[in-house]
Amino acid sequence: MTGELVWDTVVTDGNSVGGSIASPAAAFGKIFFGATVQRTTGKVVALDQRDGRIVWESALSDPVLGAAAVAGGVVFLGGADKALHAYDASTGSQLWNASRNSMLGGVSISGTSVFVGSLDHNVYAFALPVTPIPPASAALTLSAPSAGEEWTRGQRYTVTWSASGGVNRVNVSISRDGGATWSFLAQDLDAAAGAFQVKAKKPKSDTVIIRVADSSNPAVYGESGMFSIK
């Protein structure tokens, strides 16, 4: 470890009252945090830890100043919009929100509860969702395709992976826009098989990514590097 900058990513405008000032939360290969946009609105952002790529982002009506927290595959974040928000850590879909008053501080998790303070002079506790936290040993790693590969339309290629830690069934997905949107290639495959054949189809793209995810817990997944279909 040298302390050398590995990557940086611009996620919002920066000014004396904007940008992002809260500590991020890291889990499932991603970094989650809130930000202020143009001084008046906000958003929550998820970055890929490996390269800083924006995996997903969700707009909010007011700024976000407090730190995020993650548990059970869910990202929790309070904001000046007077709500605690809960997002799916994998997709960024909002699962629920609870309105109280402006929540400018960070979210804390302890035991089976999520805690957050509010400008109405109260501290609120919410029960954690029933979605299980992935076992620490659960993992999926892709060995093919590799970054920089070039697939030819009409040809068949093999996606290969290794699974551990109780991953039994997997879904295989493809993104042609660098991870912004995804579509399934196959679902509920035997994880132990470790391989699935794909026929390269149009449209062409230079920003293709393949993802293999645990069918029962999409927060456990492995992704290929970016490659192209010609």
Region of residue 3 (left: phi > 0; alpha: psi -120 to 50; beta: else): left
Over 70: is that where the pLDDT of 190 sits? yes
Task: Tell me the CA distances in angstroms from 227 to 6, 44, 102, 173, one per residue in order.
Answer: 21, 28, 44, 14
**Cross-strand partners of 36:** 19, 42
Hey, what CATH topology would domain 139-229 get? Immunoglobulin-like (2.60.40)
Over 70: is that where the pLDDT of 17 sits? no
- The per-residue b/e assignment along 58-70, b for 16 or more CB within 10 angstroms, e otherwise, is bebebbbbbbbbb
Over 80: is that where the pLDDT of 198 sits? yes
Give the number of other Cβ atoms within 10 Å of residue 35's Cβ.
23
The pLDDT of residue 111 is: 76
**Chain centre to alpha carbon of residue 228:** 23
**Cα 74 from Cα 112, distance rounded (Å):** 13
Domains 25-127 and 139-229 share a fold: no
Domain borders along the chain are 25-127, 139-229
Token pair belonging to 122:
């109260």
Q: How many CA atoms lie within 13 A of 11 on its CB side?
A: 29
Q: Write out the CATH class of domain 25-127.
A: mainly beta
The pLDDT of residue 131 is: 52
Over 80: is that where the pLDDT of 137 sits? no
